[in-house]
Amino acid sequence: MNQQKDFQEKLQKNFQCSAFGEKKLVFGEGAQMPILMMIGEAPGGDEEKQGKPFVGKAGKNLSAFLEVIGLKRDEIYISNVVKLRPTKSSPKTGKEVNRPPSKDEIAFFLPYLMDEIQLIAPKMIVTLGNVPLKAVSGDNSMNIGDVHGKPYTLTDGRILFPLYHPAAIIYNRALTQVYQEDLVTLKDFLVTL
Ligand code: URA
């Protein structure tokens, strides 16, 4: 736990000196040495408000996901590649809205994500969508459409299980069935760990 506190303090300090330092950080949370570490893209508005990853609407998606694979939120560890909420001003309303993380934001947070993975030491990493898939594998040519639902062994021996980002299912209903099948594959795979 102290190591995790040290990690967060170091990130907070370096973050404040960075180009993004005005923003609020949303750290990962959950069990140490869990069977599964879930990595999303970046926090949204609810996460920024509550200071926790995957709450609000994304939290509801997560609950449904956990129910299928038979795990509880406090049994896993949940984090994001980028730990600030990427926003832009909406041209229509002028309000702050979510946008995908930039290359610079991903590059800033990537080394911390690698440290976080070592610190949390999960048996398996589940990435949601392309951003965490490319970040964790270190392979920019990997694409979620090709590798979803297939376990992949990383260079450090840990297993990566790529899933679509739940938001992709909202935008592309045709993926619902594929996503459910991937979850069943994940559930069956977890039993073998
Ligand atoms: N909430 C998060 O914390 N991460 C995501 O990737 C999406 C929603």
Domain around 125? 27-191
pLDDT in tens, 49-103: 999 999 999 999 899 889 999 999 999 999 999 999 999 999 999 999 999 999 9
Q: Identify whether 10 is part of a domain.
A: no
**Which atom of ligand 1 is the closest one to the Cα of 129?**
6
Question: What average pLDDT is seen over the chain?
Answer: 95
Q: Identify whether 180 is part of a domain.
A: yes
pLDDT in tens, 164-178: 998 888 788 889 999
Query: pLDDT class for 1, splitting at 50, 70, 90?
Result: low
Q: Identify whether 106 is part of a domain.
A: yes
Tally the domains of the chain.
Answer: 1
Helix (H) or strand (E) holding 37: strand 36-40
Residue 53 alpha carbon to ligand 1 centre in Å:
6
- Rounded Cα–Cα distance for residues 101 and 83 (Å): 10
Confirm or reject: Cβ of 15 under 6 Å from ligand 1.
no
Confirm or reject: Cβ of 28 under 6 Å from ligand 1.
no
Residue 81 alpha carbon to ligand 1 centre in Å:
9
Q: Identify whether 4 is part of a domain.
A: no
Q: How many helices (H) and strands (E) does the chain have?
A: 8, 8
Confirm or reject: Cβ of 80 under 6 Å from ligand 1.
yes
Confirm or reject: Cβ of 53 under 6 Å from ligand 1.
yes
Domain CATH code at residue 66:
3.40.470.10
Q: Identify whether 16 is part of a domain.
A: no
pLDDT in tens, 99-140: 999 999 999 999 999 999 999 999 999 999 999 999 999 999
Indicate yes or no: pTM above 0.85: yes
Q: Identify whether 5 is part of a domain.
A: no
Confirm or reject: Cβ of 34 under 6 Å from ligand 1.
no
pLDDT at residue 167, rounded to an integer: 83
